[in-house]
Amino acid sequence: MRSREYGQFCGLARAAEVLGQRWTMLILRDLLVGPRRYSDLLAGLPGIATNVLAARLKELEADGLVTCELQTGNSGRSVIYRATPRAEELAPALDALGRWGAATMREPREGEVVTDAALVAGLRVAAGGRARRPGRDVVYVIRSGAAVAHATMRGTTVEVEAGEHPEPDLVVVAGPGFRDLLAGVLDADAAIESGAVELTGDASLLTEFTATFRVPYSETVTF
Amino acid sequence: MRSREYGQFCGLARAAEVLGQRWTMLILRDLLVGPRRYSDLLAGLPGIATNVLAARLKELEADGLVTCELQTGNSGRSVIYRATPRAEELAPALDALGRWGAATMREPREGEVVTDAALVAGLRVAAGGRARRPGRDVVYVIRSGAAVAHATMRGTTVEVEAGEHPEPDLVVVAGPGFRDLLAGVLDADAAIESGAVELTGDASLLTEFTATFRVPYSETVTF
DNA sequence: CTGGATCCTCAACGATACTG
DNA sequence: CAGTATCGTTGAGGATCCAG
């Protein structure tokens, strides 16, 4: 049996052969947020070695989960990596894993960062298909460390994308304790008071924000 | 950052730190089927090195996902490993991964085996909460290679456990093409005809069996 | 006999330098 | 910018050994 295989006729074993490789889940997470250049991936995965990223992208391409295309602009060439439909079928499973992992997170560990993709993935999981805004569209910009994302509430849908938005209704800057706010442990007033959030814009939208984005606490604290 | 960590404050990264280790997903799959002794785990994970299994169990215990207790019977001591409630919270995520992986499985690859835990996990995922039997209880025994499981349909629930059952209503022995039957590609009559299943007992229950256990095909074939 | 620990080999990962 | 090449370090695989 090849080294990454498990020799079992089992769906989970097949999934583990792909996702059990170091960095692979996070690469797919980043690509499920949107197409990325090689250097974007490298920058969004602090600590990954460049040869490992190259090797993983090759494997994922061979597995039919990633495609790449050369793009030649005026300022040099670039290679765009994109998740395939088969990779998108993984989204529910990765979301479930992210929800499980988030349940025991409290504060960042020493040296941990929040990347754009982590923030987007986290907010998408937190939204979990909820949509409480039949009225007019609302746009949030969320910042956590150096990461920025924006969420658009439109009708019954929530869309979260990486990066800024030109006209947010509310800018939410996450501080220490923001996680508690999303868990419902901290209420909106206390969060503002303690610096768990800093708001710019229509602060009255925060209640709706916390009603939409929720990450539960797990009883068991292991981290 | 320690070697298995990713340095990101992200639920998926936390999950990957646990599940990204080789063999860990399959160890948890086995333990979610039921408590197991060290030697049971070793036997149910063909190819794992004994030191790797010992190391993983230690890590999982440190992460609060596994507990172990010494059990001294008359025929020597044994150590029972058990999934904790926190590990059981992983079940939906592992099910989603298993479903994703199973979608592109066709026939076993050269040398692949079906273990008891793989069969139970696969059937549980295939049942997916379905339950079509308001009438009397029905018990199936399912065999695939050396693996045996039994499923009990009771009211609106389906329970799948490893091993034999003393009084099955129908014994289903999986042959080549059994996967196609669960996908709906092969109908019941054709499956019996072609040897995809061999039945003992009330063969008329096969229709209900296939209505309960379903594993869809994914369009993209990569294996 | 079960539940590991030890030792050795080799493959994978990590860090960094270098190239088309 | 998008990788490849190289090399040191870590982890997995496999066999064996040991303790209760």
User: What tens digit of pLDDT does each residue of B10-34 get?
Assistant: 999 999 999 999 999 999 999 999 9
What is the edge-to-edge ordering of all strands in the sheet holding B170-174? B157-162, B147-154, B138-144, B170-174, B197-201
Identify the CATH number of the domain defined by range B11-89: 1.10.10.10
Chain-centroid distance, C-alpha A80: 19
Provide, in whole angstroms, the distance separating residue A189's CA from nucleotide D6's C1'. 57
Query: Do the Cβ atoms of A63 and B222 come within 8 Å?
Result: yes
Write the DSSP symbol of residue A23: T
Residue A39 and residue A37: Cα distance in Å, rounded?
5
Q: Is nucleic acid strand D under 7 Å from B6's C-beta? A: no
Average pLDDT over residues A157-184: 95
Average pLDDT over residues A88-99: 97
> CB neighbours (10 Å) of residue A46?
14
Q: Is nucleic acid strand C under 7 Å from B68's C-beta? A: yes
CA nearest neighbour of B93 among A98, A89, A84, A217 = A98
Classify A66 as helix, strand or coil. Answer: strand
Predicted confidence at residue B3, as pLDDT, reads 87
Q: What DSSP line would sit under chain B, residue for residue?
A: --TT---B--HHHHHHHHHTSTTHHHHHHHHHH--EEHHHHHHHSTT--HHHHHHHHHHHHHTTSEEEEEEEETTEEEEEEEE-HHHHTTHHHHHHHHHHHHTT--S--TT-B--HHHHHHHHHHHHTT-----SS-EEEEEEETTEEEEEEEETTEEEEEES--SS-SEEEEE-TTHHHHHHTSS-HHHHHHHTSEEEEE-GGGHHHHHHH---PPPS----
Show the tokens assigned to A125: 């999981």
- Report CA-CA distances (Å) from B61 to B2, B169, B209: 18, 40, 38
- Report CA-CA distances (Å) from A146 to A29, A119, B9: 18, 10, 12
Predicted confidence at residue A116, as pLDDT, reads 98
CB distance B217 to B186 below 8 Å? no
Q: Is nucleic acid strand D under 7 Å from B76's C-beta? A: yes
| Residue A182, min C-alpha distance to chain B (Å) | 14
φ and ψ at residue A157, rounded to 5 degrees: -115, 155
What whole-number percentage of chain B has pLDDT above 90?
87
> Is residue B128 predicted with pLDDT exceeding 90?
no
Q: Is nucleic acid strand D under 7 Å from B75's C-beta? A: no
Average pLDDT over residues B81-87: 97
Whose tokens are 């329970």? That residue is: B159
How far is the first Cα of chain B from the last one, in angstroms, to the nearest whole number? 35
| Model confidence, pTM | 0.95
Per-residue pLDDT tens for A127-158?
A: 986 766 667 899 999 999 999 999 999 888 89
Query: Do the Cβ atoms of B15 and A86 come within 8 Å?
Result: no
Amino acid at A206: L
Per-residue pLDDT tens for A8-47?
A: 999 999 999 999 999 999 999 999 999 999 999 999 999 9
Cα torsion B13, B16, B21, B27: sign = positive
Residue A165 and residue A161: Cα distance in Å, rounded?
9
CB distance B177 to B141 below 8 Å? no
| Residue B31, min C-alpha distance to chain A (Å) | 14
Predicted confidence at residue A223, as pLDDT, reads 41
Give domain limits for chain B.
Answer: 11-89, 95-212
Query: Do the Cβ atoms of A22 and B19 come within 8 Å?
Result: no
φ and ψ at residue A27, rounded to 5 degrees: -60, -45
> Is residue A2 predicted with pLDDT exceeding 60?
yes
CATH class name, domain A95-212: alpha beta
Q: Which nucleotide is nearest to B41 (CA to C1')?
A: C3
Write the DSSP symbol of residue A68: E
| Residue A187, min C-alpha distance to chain B (Å) | 22
Q: Is B43 on the interface with A (CB under 8 A)?
A: no
Provide, in whole angstroms, the distance separating residue B63's CA from nucleotide C13's C1'. 23
Which residues in chain B, range 19-38, keep a C-beta under 7 Å from any nucleic strand C atom? 37-38
Residue B87 and residue B81: Cα distance in Å, rounded?
12
CB distance A216 to A222 below 8 Å? no
Lowest mean pLDDT among A47-61, A74-88, A125-139, B147-161: A125-139
The bases of strand D with some atom under 7 A from any protein CB are 1-6, 10-16, 20
Question: Which residue would you say has higher pLDDT here, A92 or B2?
Answer: A92
Q: Is B14 on the interface with A (CB under 8 A)?
A: yes
Classify A140 as helix, strand or coil. Answer: strand
- Widest distance between CA atoms in chain B: 59
Provide, in whole angstroms, the distance separating residue B89's CA from nucleotide C15's C1'. 37
Provide, in whole angstroms, the distance separating residue A41's CA from nucleotide C16's C1'. 19
Amino acid at A152: T
Provide, in whole angstroms, the distance separating residue A21's CA from nucleotide C12's C1'. 10
Show the tokens assigned to A151: 């969420």
CA nearest neighbour of B177 among B195, B163, B161, B159 = B195
Q: Which residue in B15, B90, B218 is closest to A98 by CB distance?
A: B15
Q: Which residue in B12, B18, B113 is closest to A94 by CB distance?
A: B12
